[in-house]
């Protein structure tokens, strides 16, 4: 709800990066993402709004001739983003200085925003998500990809609040990444609700998302927020939280990804997310 296109936590992660880019006189933002990346869509919209040029380096060379079918990439191009498709192999080298230097040779100088918008300035922006009014909550729940947003929450929460991250990915690297950005170790992860890994879904999750929307009028995406809310409801059913616990669940956005997810679900013959 924070912005029509720069959705949820991506707005927070971009805020100080945009300021820094303008301070350094950059005219171009360059960033990285997958085919359905919320961050690619958000960066494209934010760049346009701030009068900056934007380049999206996209994982998957095969998308070169298929991006017209992809709602996220289509949106990015409409915002004026220039897309550059690279192989999965090249994409893996995206943090290497040599790869970045090659991109600079090709496109000229740019302000580099890492994949997912995740850096120290992004954490700073995410430290502004909680307000004084949120001090009444006992538990704060947040979905995590790179963990940058969660680190911002950890840094700005009250010491009495219990902080629970819900990883949307499988794997243990996340704890280390959160530790890099968080100023204390008083937090936990619920690792049972990733549904097999990043962007993996099953029918139960889609049904949950549709049911949740019918009951609450709150739309959820299948990559991040749907998995977190599924997890929270399961934990409540299992009496994980003491009675009368006040839980704050942070909806991090991501709704632009529903159209792309629905196209994939349709192809697989699975039920789709109601919109
Ligand atoms: C990118 C994204 C996340 C993950 O944020 P991190 O800071 O990388 O952990 C969570 N939810 C949504 C909707 C996102 O788009």
Q: Which of 204, 218, 223 is nearest to 261 (CA)?
A: 223
Q: Look at residue 172 in the predicted model and tell me its pLDDT.
A: 79
Per-residue CA distances from 193 to 166, 204, 225, 254 (Å): 7, 12, 11, 17
| Cα–Cα distance measured from residue 180 to residue 183, given in angstroms and rounded to the nearest whole number | 8
Contact (Cβ atoms closer than 8 angstroms) between residue 275 and residue 219? yes
- Both structure tokens of 94: 């995206």
* Residue ID of nearest Cα to ligand 1 atom 5: 145
**Nearest alpha carbon, ligand 1 atom 15:** 254
The reply to whether ligand 1 has any atom less than 6 angstroms from the CB of 9 is yes
Backbone angles phi, psi at 198, to 5 degrees: -60, 125
pLDDT of residue 53: 98
What are the C-alpha distances in Å from 102 to residues 5, 94, 99, 105, 244?
30, 11, 5, 5, 56
**What pLDDT sits at residue 7?**
87
How many whole angstroms from 15 Cα to the centroid of ligand 1?
Answer: 15
- Mutation pick for ligand 1 pocket among 143, 198, 230 (CB with most ligand atoms within 8 Å): 143
How many angstroms separate the alpha carbon of residue 9 from the centre of ligand 1? 6
Cα 3 to ligand 1 centroid, rounded to whole Å: 16
Interval 153-177: pLDDT, tens: 999 999 999 999 999 999 878 999 9
- Which parts of the chain have pLDDT scores under 50? none
User: Which of 38, 44, 176 should be mutated for ligand 1, with most atoms under 8 A from CB?
Assistant: 38
pLDDT at position 171 is 80
| Distant-in-sequence, close-in-space partners of 81: CB < 8 Å, separation ≥ 6 | 40, 43, 44, 47, 54, 55, 56
Q: Cα(105) to centroid of ligand 1, in Å?
A: 31
Of residues 274, 255, 142, the one with CA closest to residue 211: 274
**254 C-beta closer than 6 A to ligand 1:** yes
- In Å, how far are 48, 62, 72, 78, 114 from 31, measured between CA atoms? 14, 19, 15, 17, 6
Residue for token pair 């029509």 = 4
CB 30 within 8 A of CB 55: yes
């Amino acid at each position: 709800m924070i912005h029509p296109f720069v959705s949820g936590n991506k707005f927070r992660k971009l805020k100080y990066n945009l300021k820094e880019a303008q301070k350094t006189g950059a005219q171009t933002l360059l960033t990285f993402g997958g085919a359905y990346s919320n961050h690619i869509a958000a960066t494209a919209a934010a760049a346009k709004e701030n009068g900056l040029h934007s380049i999206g380096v996209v994982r998957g060379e095969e998308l070169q001739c298929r991006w017209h079918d992809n709602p996220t990439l289509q949106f990015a191009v409409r915002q004026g983003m220039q897309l550059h498709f690279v192989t999965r192999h090249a994409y893996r080298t995206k943090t290497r200085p040599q790869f970045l230097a090659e991109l600079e040779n090709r496109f000229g100088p740019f302000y580099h925003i890492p994949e997912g918008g995740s850096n120290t300035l992004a954490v700073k922006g995410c430290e502004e998500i909680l307000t004084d009014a949120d001090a009444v909550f006992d538990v704060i729940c947040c979905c995590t990809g790179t963990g940058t947003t969660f680190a911002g929450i950890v840094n700005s929460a009250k010491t009495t609040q219990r902080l629970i991250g819900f990883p949307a990915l499988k794997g243990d690297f996340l704890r280390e990444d959160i530790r890099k950005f968080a100023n204390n170790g008083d937090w936990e992860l619920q690792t049972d609700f990733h549904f097999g890994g990043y962007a993996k879904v099953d029918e139960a999750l889609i049904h949950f998302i549709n049911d949740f929307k019918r009951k609450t009028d709150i739309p959820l995406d299948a990559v991040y927020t749907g998995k977190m809310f599924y997890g929270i409801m399961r934990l409540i059913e299992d009496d994980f939280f003491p009675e009368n616990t006040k839980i704050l669940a942070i909806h991090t956005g991501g709704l632009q990804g529903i159209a792309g997810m629905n196209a994939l679900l349709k192809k697989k013959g699975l039920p789709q997310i109601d919109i």
